Copies of this chain bind each other. A is one copy, B any other.
Amino acid sequence: MPEVSAVDRDYNLWVLLHQVSDIIFNAREAELQKYGLPATQAEVLFVIKAIGDKVTPAQISRMIYRRPHSVSGIIDRMVKAGLVKKTKDLHKKNLIRVTMTAKGQQAYKQALGRKSVQKIMASLSEFERQKFKSLLETLRNKGLKELGIDPKKLPPPKFV
């Protein structure tokens, strides 16, 4: 068997990380299917709830770490689905604010059950989850630095 080089090992580790993230995403999609709510839209509802109404698309983009362009597409689909509405800021006319509609509030309540994520995370002990979190934070800070972003300006997600 050929020896695995350091660069291959690191790459494999990232692919595994990527896979796990996708696997949990798919479990979440399956869970939300009965409400007809895509997992990414559920994520955005959590962000709006966390930041408060009148959040801007740029704030959402920073929180879910997607490009502004792709966030704009997600929001437009959510407007179409009647979950949020976009309004122009009263003072800065070129600033868009996003607010949850009554239908969005209802969808948020449905999305609050997150058994899929909980069940998968429960495969780690409380101690292991702490360790996992600290390893992820180290990678996150280093990764943001590599991208030229100050980690302090992008606090870790806290949806509570």
Contacts and interface: CB of A to CB of B under 8 A. Distances in A.
A140 interface: yes
Number of copies of this chain in the oligomer? 2
A123 B5 CA distance: 18
Given A19-B65, A157-B12, A157-B16, A146 B119 contact: yes
Given A132-B135, A138-B124, A143-B20, A118 B160 contact: no
Contacts of A128: 135, 138
Contact of A20 (B27, B117, B120, B140): B140
Contacts of A157: 12, 15-16, 19
A116 interface: yes
A139 B141 CA distance: 22
Give the interface size bracket for A toward B: 35 or more
A61 to B, nearest CB: 12
Interface in A2-44: 2, 4-27, 30, 43
Contacts of A7: 114, 117-118
Nearest to A135: B132
